[in-house]
Structure 1
Amino acid sequence: MSDTETLNKLRGVISKLARELNTTATSEGLTPTQASVLGLIVFRGPLGLTELAQLEGLNPTMLSRVIGKLTELGLIQRDPNPADLRAIQVESTEAGRELSDRIKHHRTEAIAACLDQLPETTAQTIINALPALEALAQALRSTHN
């Protein structure tokens, strides 16, 4: 559909945006991966470790470390999975929900501040592109599942 140079620019911009937004998690004491896992647990509710690993694209060792740290910080809790008592599921604690909300708030504030610095037509072009970007995200998700 588009030339390679344009596609590389799009990929690069998406990566830069993700990296910049990830810094908001470090200001709260979490790594970007820890913040992402916490956000997913808060958003999706109790999750089994296998499903969580698939959703986050993490190997079991890395996921185990992240879950261990989030549990140690009191942000999530591990419980037996009612559907399979041999398995564990994780869910957020009140502290985890509060921290996740703060991270989302910081990210929203950062985007708002940046949009305010852009010319109004540029900011509106970005807002108008949201449906297309959401479709791109959905298409990417579909190709990886």
Structure 2
Amino acid sequence: MPESPRTAEVLASLRHALTSIERWGSRRATWERLSGGAASLTRTDVWLLERIADCGPARMSALARWQSVDRSTITAQVNRLESNGLITRGPDPADRRAVQVDLTADGHAVMREHRSRLATTMEDLTAAWPAADVTEFGRLLSRFARALDDDLADRAD
């Protein structure tokens, strides 16, 4: 089925927007703004901390699947975060042979600070927008993010 000109235009606009978002998110200045100088944390560290903050204690094997990495990679990452005092590991109460990780008080504090900086950044970037536009943007971007998560989950299986 051939694309309509409108569809091609919309897809080009989305491609451009995603490229801009990816470029913005990968800039060192953006990372410094969002991390508040927590130079010891990588973007992947923050993704993992964010996942645990959102979902609660998680098995290391589940985190490795979520990040699409092998267990040795997640173990190294957990070791680094544990040595920084941001997470703790222990036996899974449902299966004491399995290991699960959770945020420490410092890990929660780091995530609160990161989320606060991100919220301030988003507020700054959308300050001139009407409130209804910000609400609609949040709804649509969240919907798109769910589609991305679903796509990642489908590809991990």
Given the two structures, how large is their TM-score scaled by the length of structure 1?
0.82
Match of 1:27 in 2: 37
Residues 32 and 95 of structure 1, relative CA distance in 2, 3 Å threshold: same
Highest CA radius of gyration, 1 or 2? 2
Q: Check whether the contact 1:80–1:87 (CA below 8 A) recurs between aligned residues.
A: yes
1:63 to 55, 64, 74: 74
Match of 1:42 in 2: 53
Residues 92 and 128 of structure 1, relative CA distance in 2, 3 Å threshold: same
Q: Check whether the contact 1:25–1:31 (CA below 8 A) recurs between aligned residues.
A: no
Q: Distance in 2 between matches of 1:60 and 1:26?
A: 30
Greater than 6 Å deviation, 4+ residue runs: none
State the Cα deviation string for residues 94-126 of structure 1 (Å, max 9, x = none): 11101111111111112222323xx445x8645
For 1:85, what is the secondary structure of its paired residue?
A: strand
1:14 aligns with 2:14: no
Q: Distance in 1 between matches of 2:129 and 2:144?
A: 24
Given the two structures, how large is their TM-score scaled by the length of structure 2?
0.77
Task: Give 1:102-113 correspondences, 5 Å limit.
Answer: 102-113=113-124
- Distance apart, 1:63 and its partner CA: 1.5
1:98 to 85, 89, 109: 109
Q: Check whether the contact 2:36–2:114 (CA below 8 A) recurs between aligned residues.
A: no
Q: Which moved more, 1:91-100 or 1:16-25?
A: 16-25
State the Cα deviation string for residues 24-68 of structure 1 (Å, max 9, x = none): 236223111111111211221110011112223333232222101
Match of 1:129 in 2: 137
Q: Which moved more, 1:90-99 or 1:57-66?
A: 57-66
Amino acid in the other structure paired with 1:40: R
Q: Check whether the contact 1:25–1:32 (CA below 8 A) recurs between aligned residues.
A: no
- Distance apart, 1:132 and its partner CA: 1.4
Q: Which moved more, 1:47-56 or 1:57-66?
A: 57-66
- Distance apart, 1:136 and its partner CA: 1.0
Match of 1:143 in 2: 151
Match of 1:114 in 2: 125
Q: Distance in 1 between matches of 2:129 and 2:15?
A: 26
Amino acid in the other structure paired with 1:27: G
Q: Distance in 2 between matches of 1:127 and 1:16?
A: 24
Structure 2, unmatched stretches of 5+, are none
Question: How many residue pairs were aligned?
Answer: 142
For 1:39, what is the secondary structure of its paired residue?
A: helix
